[in-house]
Structure 1
Amino acid sequence: MPGPVFIEGDQISLHPLEREDLPFIQTYRNHPDVRQQLGRIQPQNGADLEADFEGYMQNGVNLLVCTDNKPVGFVALFNWKESAGRVEIAYWIAPDEQGNGYATDAVSQAIAYAFDDRRCHKVVAGAHATNEASRGLLETLSFQQEGRLRDHIYLDGEWVDAIRYGLLEAEWQDERQA
């Protein structure tokens, strides 16, 4: 059972990641449809994830995406550069829960938190060129393509470009007012 609600969205709620949530995270970090898009090629066991949880994840905002108090995905704000007003966002939704708008709602809520509560100036994100769903989500939320890293990752038997995106706070505010 997820911990307390941190942010309430239209379809989802975001909850701080707790140690008890790690088995859910591990399941999907190892799922082929999720891990490939994350660029993970190594299997991740419980000890690995525990080390991540106690290590680098402490420097970010890691949120469990839930519907009806059931976890369906994950969104993280990480690589905070407070002096530059910049943060990176990453997200995934369990394959059997995709297509319901949960990622759009979760990412929107996380972006609003970054801009409204943390006073970020820019949110950056990445997506593989072949991940049309993720690229479409970012572009729907007004992210702009800022760069392309050619043949950046070996994914499912081929070299794939990585696309870098950025969203400025003013662009986000304009989108919200439209």
Structure 2
Amino acid sequence: MVRTLNDPAVRHGGYEGYRTPVSAEDVTAKLEADDRHLFLACRKGTPIGSASLKDIDLEGRKAEPGYWIAPDEQGNAYATEAADLCLTHAFDELGLHEVWARTVGDNDASNRVLEKLGFQREGVIGEHWYGFGRDVDEHRFGLLESERQEFSGAQDRHDHPLAVGSEQSVSVRHRRRTDSVLLSRP
């Protein structure tokens, strides 16, 4: 996992969080943070990435998601699946009102993940992040619980690869902190 987090293709999407190489201690600190719920994405039992809710504000009823998938596993909808399960956790289990996200402006794949899940692009902050020798825009997205319900209701969840009970559904074992949540697809 540490090696993958240090891959430039993964680090590109999170300039603010990954300006220096990531260590095992950095990963442990994130697992132990009180305001973060981390989900481990696995395929056939092998970790291929993670998703998280961070800056969880239970009183203000909001949080920010984050996700990454190993480069050789990208393009298989794993990030969308992991982020969708984070939203289920945020709205259904934590009772949050809003989930907001930010992306590096040229991270088209991450922008598509959010748009597929019903997020609305709420703005752009010009040249807000610096990384890898250049300044880039930050895109802001938001999703309210009521919008999630409307978006989810408009989808035929039985035909969606994330549908509970479908042949392609994920198995989820919910645990907290260092035990994480394991997202696994056959």
TM-score interval for Structure 1 and Structure 2 normalised by the shorter chain: 0.7 to 0.9
Question: How far is the alpha carbon of 1:27 from its aligned partner?
Answer: 1.4
- TM-score normalised to the size of structure 2? 0.77
Instruction: Give the letter aligned to residue 21 of structure 2.
Output: P
Instruction: Give the letter aligned to residue 68 of structure 1.
Output: K
Which residue, 26, 34, 49 being the options, matches 2:27? 49
Secondary structure of 2:76's partner? coil
Q: Deviations over 1:86-143 (max 9, x none)?
A: 0110000000000001111111111011101110100011111100010011011111
Q: Which has the higher helix share?
A: 1
CA distance 1:150–1:97, change in 2 (3 Å): same
Secondary structure of 1:112's partner? helix
Instruction: Give the letter aligned to residue 46 of structure 1.
Output: A
User: In the alignment, which residue of structure 2 is the partner of 1:145?
Assistant: 121
Q: 2:93 matched to 1:117?
A: yes
Question: How far is the alpha carbon of 1:51 from its aligned partner?
Answer: 4.0
User: In the alignment, which residue of structure 2 is the partner of 1:157?
Assistant: 133
Question: How far is the alpha carbon of 1:158 from its aligned partner?
Answer: 2.4
User: In the alignment, which residue of structure 1 is the partner of 2:167?
Assistant: none
CA distance 1:50–1:105, change in 2 (3 Å): closer
Instruction: Give the letter aligned to residue 146 of structure 2.
Output: A
* Aligned counterparts of 1:89 and 1:136: Cα–Cα separation in 2: 14
User: In the alignment, which residue of structure 1 is the partner of 2:109?
Assistant: 133
The within-5 A match list for 1:20-169 is 24=1, 26-39=2-15, 40-54=18-32, 57-169=33-145
* Aligned counterparts of 1:141 and 1:51: Cα–Cα separation in 2: 29
Instruction: Give the letter aligned to residue 174 of structure 1.
Output: E
* Aligned counterparts of 1:150 and 1:35: Cα–Cα separation in 2: 20
- TM-score normalised to the size of structure 1? 0.80
User: In the alignment, which residue of structure 2 is the partner of 1:176?
Assistant: 152
8 Å contact from structure 2 (residues 19, 131) kept in 1? no
Bigger relative contact order (CA 8 A; separation at least 6): 2
8 Å contact from structure 2 (residues 53, 63) kept in 1? yes
Gaps of 5+ in 2: 155-186
Gaps of 5+ in 1: 1-23
* Aligned counterparts of 1:48 and 1:85: Cα–Cα separation in 2: 27
* Aligned counterparts of 2:121 and 2:14: Cα–Cα separation in 1: 19
How many residue pairs match? The answer is 152
Q: Deviations over 1:31-67 (max 9, x none)?
A: 111112111121123344344444xx34310111011
